[in-house]
């Protein structure tokens, strides 16, 4: 069942309504999680979560700065009992786009119904494999995603490509897209900050194997429109991945990340001491100076934000529109 046309039009109109500032914001609404994945360190930093009223204030401030797409992540967001209230405030009150990322281990049809009623527009499930070889490898989540699609939600999976699952990626991609679900991937990172692990052993060292996989991803993207990574990401120089050499721009904010305690982050890995509720705009000297200092000391990384948020090409935009038509 394809996503309702009215939901696609709603998404398009809400994106168009942004006239300034960063379009997207990622909210770590909690770092609590019921899993302990080898490539994720989010749960190792248990700062106190903002309460419901504080998150609503954060959302309002980000919206005033131009943010229209709110990615809700963690930890595991479904642990929070107020998740439906937060989604509803983004979608029904602010008329923006809520996107929830979950490990799906505690997801149910009833919870999906409540999320749909709250106005959720995008739902992503983390998926390591379909062969029980990873922490998140229960294929039954695809049935839940299909149910969410029947409620008009655009659904996807996200798989971290690493040493132990790279050979299974094509099979996962084929099964996910066969069901009309968008397939997304990211390369294993070993930055060792607040999100990724520092262990490089899980990293795929064979660049030829990685390139063969990316060639299959590109081909399937053109064929189905259901492979999420941008064309630039799938054509990028893998030397950058080997070196982990890219750094965020310091003088502009292509996207925002908010830690679970309200602090602004240049990315998922490092937090500033600047609470988003304590500044009036993104040109506050405290944020600009701290972001520059954090980026300067960062050794570099290879996150998809480089190709998917900072450097989007016209081809990428057209292929994203193609995806919208297919789901």
Under DSSP, the state recorded for 2 is: P
pLDDT per position as a tens digit, 72-111: 998 899 999 999 999 999 999 999 999 999 999 999 999 9
Q: What is the DSSP string of 92-112?
A: IIS--EEEEEE--TT--HHHH
119 and 91 in contact (C-beta within 8 Å)?
A: yes
| Phi (first) and psi of residue 87, to 5 degrees | -60, -45
pLDDT per position as a tens digit, 125-184: 999 888 876 666 677 899 999 999 999 999 999 998 989 899 999 999 999 999 999 999
Q: Give the structural domain span for 68.
A: 5-326
pLDDT band at 3 (very low <50, low <70, confident <90, very high): low
Q: What is the C-alpha to C-alpha distance for residues 240 and 139, in angstroms, rounded to an integer?
A: 33
Q: What is the structure's pLDDT at 111?
A: 98
β-bridge mates for residue 255, sequence order: 24
Q: What is the C-alpha to C-alpha distance for residues 46 and 75, in angstroms, rounded to an integer?
A: 10
**Displacement of CA 319 from its chain's centroid (Å):** 18
26 and 175 in contact (C-beta within 8 Å)?
A: no
Which of helix, strand or coil describes residue 30? coil
pTM, entire model: 0.91
Burial of residue 180 (number of CB atoms within 10 Å: 0-12, 13-18, 19+) = middle
Q: What is the C-alpha to C-alpha distance for residues 170 and 183, in angstroms, rounded to an integer?
A: 10
Q: How many domains does the chain have?
A: 1
CATH code, domain with 225: 3.20.20.70
Token reading at 93: 């009150």
- Mention every residue, 6+ apart, whose C-beta is less than 8 A from residue 248: 266, 267, 291, 295, 298, 305, 310
């Amino acid at each position: 069942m394809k996503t309702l046309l009215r939901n696609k039009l709603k998404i398009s109109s809400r994106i168009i309504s942004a006239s300034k500032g960063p379009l997207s914001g990622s909210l770590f609404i909690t770092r609590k999680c019921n899993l302990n994945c080898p490539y994720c360190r989010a749960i190792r930093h248990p700062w106190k979560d903002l309460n419901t009223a504080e998150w609503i204030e954060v959302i309002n401030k980000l919206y005033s700065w131009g943010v229209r797409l709110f990615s809700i992540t963690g930890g595991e967001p479904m642990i929070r009992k107020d998740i439906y209230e937060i989604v509803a405030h983004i979608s029904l009150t602010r008329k923006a786009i809520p996107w929830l990322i979950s490990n799906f281990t505690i997801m149910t049809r009833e919870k999906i119904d409540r999320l749909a009623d709250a106005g959720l527009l995008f739902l992503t499930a983390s998926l390591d494999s379909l062969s029980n070889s990873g922490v998140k490898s229960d294929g039954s989540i695809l049935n839940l995603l299909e149910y969410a699609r029947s409620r008009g939600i655009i659904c996807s999976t996200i798989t971290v490509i690493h040493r132990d699952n790279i050979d299974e990626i094509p099979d996962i991609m084929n099964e996910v897209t066969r069901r009309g679900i968008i397939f997304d991937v990211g390369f294993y990172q070993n930055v060792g900050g607040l999100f990724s692990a520092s262990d490089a052993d899980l990293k795929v060292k064979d660049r030829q194997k990685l390139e063969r996989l990316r060639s299959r991803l590109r081909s399937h993207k053109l064929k189905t429109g259901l492979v999420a990574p941008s064309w630039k990401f799938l054509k990028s120089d893998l030397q950058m991945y080997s070196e982990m050499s890219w750094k965020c721009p310091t003088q502009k904010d292509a996207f925002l990340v908010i830690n679970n305690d309200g602090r602004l982050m240049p990315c998922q890995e490092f937090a500033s001491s600047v609470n988003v509720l304590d500044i009036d705009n993104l040109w506050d000297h405290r944020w600009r100076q701290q972001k520059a200092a954090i980026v300067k000391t960062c050794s570099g990384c290879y996150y998809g934000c480089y190709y998917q948020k900072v450097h989007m090409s016209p081809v990428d935009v057209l292929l994203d529109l193609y995806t919208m038509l297919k789901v």
